[in-house]
Structure 1
Amino acid sequence: MLAMIPPQVLIVLSARFCRTMREYQGLSYALALKHLGVVRQLMYTVAVAMGLAPRALGAGDTEAFGEAVGSDHLAESSVGEFILGSGKPE
């Protein structure tokens, strides 16, 4: 059984939907997720090249993020999380 160890680095990526809704209307959430995929892939590529241990998370807490940054979770919301560690212990 694996022990629950807190991550060394947690990166939370967010989106301000009102900015993209003006231009793209109903496609703003899909566009934010596509951009998230591009950023995550780049983060994976760089982390692996540096010998780090990357891991993308599939779900987060948008209300907790809103409280942490002091914004309304309907205006700006977290769309993805990424954990970064120093690699496997030897």
Structure 2
Amino acid sequence: MKIFSFSTLLLISLVLTFVVLENAEAGPAIDCKSKCDRRCSRNPRNLCKKLCNMCCSKCNCVPSGPLADKAECPCYRDWKNKKGQDKCP
């Protein structure tokens, strides 16, 4: 019975460690609204801001300006729609 209890305890501690490390990598949340306002400042359509905010909330980053390279944020760059096109503006 002790082996089972030790194994269970070890498994739980590994899972908790993984969860803590995963959350630590995410970093603090950014202000998506202001970042997306800047990113979409040259685009008069609201669709840009809507998509940017959706991408920001998933990726927790946004390229720094309207003409900034998407490589600044790999998650933002790599998220594609069903047709294989960029999902994030």
- Determine which structure has more spread, i.e. the larger CA radius of gyration: 2
TM-score (norm 1): 0.25
Of the two structures, which has the highest relative contact order with CA contacts closer than 8 Å and spacing of 6 or more? Answer: 1
TM-score (norm 2): 0.25
Select the structure that is richer in helix. Answer: 2
Select the structure that is richer in strand. Answer: 1
